[in-house]
Amino acid sequence: MGNKSIKSSKNKLTHPTKHSRHLTCCGGINSSASVSSCSTDEKYYYPTFDRIRTNNAQKTSSGQSVNDLQRKIQNTISINQWIDSLPNLDTRTVCQLADKQVKCQFDDEDDIEQLECIFKIHSNREFAHLTKKFHLKFYLKDFQTRLKSSSVKRTFQGHFSSTKIIFPSNDTYQNTINDFNLIFTSPSESILPILSFNATNCHQIHEQLRSKCYFLPLVTHQIEPNDDEYKQRSFPLDRTHVVITLENNQTTRTSKTTSPEIDSLLIFTSDDFFQTGLIRINPQTIAKELSAFVYVCKDDNVSYLSSSFIQQWFNTLILVNQTCAIVKRFLLGNTNHVTCLFKESMQHTDKTFSSQSNLIFASFRLSSRASSTQSLVFNGIDDKSEHLTDAFSPRFLSNSTKTSKNTIHVDYEQYSCAFLLLRWPKHLVETYYTDPIRNAQRQWPSQAQMEVLINRPLLLTPTGSDHAWKINFDLIEENLWEFMNEFALYVYILCQQLFALTYNKRCLIKHTFFNYCEKYGLPFSNNENNLSNIITSFLKELSEQIKQKSLPNYFNHEINMFDPTEDYAQWFDHIDQCLVNRIYLTISSTVSPSNRPIVIEFFFRFTDRLYRTFHQKQSEFHLNETSLLNLHQQLCDDLSISNNQLRIETIRMHLTQEFDTNAELVHNYLNQIRKTQTSLVFHYIWTIYMQYLHTYYNVLWHMEEFERIR
């Protein structure tokens, strides 16, 4: 079965006996069995083994003999350590090693036969080299750590970067804000960063969505999906009960009675199989803290809880408080670390990875190994990022010590409000869990694991349009990763790296991989221990779905994730080449050309110049629209960036359009800022950030004209 370890056979891996120690498969990420059976260094990617001895003394093309490798292998206790000891070989060298049979010497002949079965497969050793080349072990370990840290309970008041929360003016629901619960999820689409470069820049960009942060009211609002189960329970209670009594020739008729429990519910209604929907409310019984977010539909005179109203209010709350942390970092004077808050979704080389209603916090950091002699000139103050993360999540920032000194890290954290949907809609239960055909063919997860999943709550998050909400499965996905063994996670992350360099493609890979595991079981669970065969099998499944223009959503197969407006030709050609020529698969580039490095370096240079101007002429420093555009023009001239007039006009247009909105925010919040921060300099910097810089940074980040620079 899909959730079992490798099955036994005469020539395949067998379960360990009392007297034998050999290759075994670790359990789930948080599995106690995994922790108990593996040491700290052993429990990632590969199971344990005692030692490997080889009798082949032939030389490799790299000049290192197999005997040299033997001495390293003999002292290792895990395949992880063996991978770390491998030299960085190119594909030709790896192929020359392919035909060399690695022989093992153990006390039990069965152990020798089992390990030979693994290591005589040259493709497994080849992929082991890819593991080291792409740093996959490092990224997967980081993902596992974030998964574990996400289980820690947090609240809004206790984990915001400011000790004093700034509330919207004239707001009467501050207690609700203090009681927000924070749920962090680590999106599996971003286990690996998106790497990009530009030939005219010396820096490589390392972009990664590190976490998604959902804010849920501490008081659980009972939301029921408007499905058949709800209708069956609510129908008898909605009837009008008539009682007729004959007394003094008078007839008494009671009024319509309903259950208080049903009346107080929030009803999630949907007409698209519960992909999205509206939350219907009873305005007479709605909780006080939600009454300001009611939308009344004029067509049917029905009241709904508006996602747009809530998210707009929530975004304002986040904007004001997070900009305070951004200003603090600016005043520290460290321009090696630039922080911004984007109010719209970010455009990459692919589609957006967030809805337009979400706020994205971004942290731009030069690698801690970068020297002051790089092409970017900064003020030279040491990076204090470990002491001030500017984010709620303690695992927000990526580890820049493991990358090249010419790397700029761009870490993102997405913020969104949400509600819990404690019961799955019946339609989703039927399509995902009780469908007889799908249930009979399911190899993974197990029945017990499915019971756990189906009893986990779903999230309702804003769609970014109208007043609708959408069902979110992030909490369920985290359980799915915990149900996978280390081999399955390894195959998944390798497929992400080899076949999907953009976020949107990685979303498709994720759902295809879930469906693949459900259909065939977890990798290495069905007497198949050839990694190349497993990846080829997955590629065939993916290729066939693209041909049929059908990429079903894992949780609801009625949803086709194939976008007819998207051009999949290049992606399909890459997959087809990997199927035809396995060598092509191993030499695929992991870094894509882009203009993002130019944009991000412009951010650094602009912030650095702004900071220097501020400190050199602090008494005379005055920033308005004119001085901001002049500074932008000077920097463009210095960097020889063309089409300046077009970009300046675009920036000026947005500054003009949002001037009144920004001025209103400053007017509403500045008094509260003054109560929490006594520094007049802080007041001024925060004001100009809200009035000008926030809009300026967002325009730069999204402006399509940057794709035509240089």
What's the pLDDT score for residue 501?
77
What's the pLDDT score for residue 390?
59
Query: In this structure, what token pair is assigned to residue 260?
Result: 């208080």
Phi, psi of 469 (to 5 degrees): -125, 155
The whole-angstrom distance between residue 625's C-alpha and the CA centroid of its chain comes to 36
Domain ranges of the chain: 488-590, 594-709
Q: Do you find a cis peptide bond into 445, omega within 30 degrees of 0? A: yes
> Distance between CA atoms of 309 and 46, rounded to whole angstroms?
49
What's the pLDDT score for residue 694?
93
The predicted model scores a pTM of 0.77
> Distance between CA atoms of 314 and 321, rounded to whole angstroms?
11
The whole-angstrom distance between residue 589's C-alpha and the CA centroid of its chain comes to 22
C-alpha closest to that of 343 among 707, 705, 701, 704: 701
What's the pLDDT score for residue 288?
80
C-alpha closest to that of 469 among 153, 221, 181: 221
C-alpha closest to that of 183 among 483, 470, 413: 413
> Distance between CA atoms of 604 and 366, rounded to whole angstroms?
9
What's the pLDDT score for residue 178?
58
Q: What is the DSSP letter of 212?
A: E
Residue stretches of the chain with pLDDT short of 70: 1-120, 123, 157-163, 169-179, 234-264, 344-357, 368-394, 582-590, 642-646, 703-710
> Distance between CA atoms of 291 and 313, rounded to whole angstroms?
13
> Distance between CA atoms of 708 and 710, rounded to whole angstroms?
7
CB 382 within 8 A of CB 414: no
Q: Distances from the Cα of 23 to the Cαs of 47, 117, 679, in angstroms?
A: 6, 11, 62
What's the pLDDT score for residue 469?
96
- For 272-295, what is each residue's pLDDT tens digit? 889 999 999 998 888 887 888 999
What's the pLDDT score for residue 114?
42
> Distance between CA atoms of 258 and 472, rounded to whole angstroms?
31
- For 466-497, what is each residue's pLDDT tens digit? 899 999 999 999 999 999 987 788 889 988 88
Letter for the amino acid at 268? F
Q: Using N-to-C axis directions, what is the helix angle for 644-657 and 694-702, rounded to 10°?
A: 130
Q: Do you find a cis peptide bond into 236, omega within 30 degrees of 0? A: no
Identify the H or E element spanning 338. Answer: strand 337-342
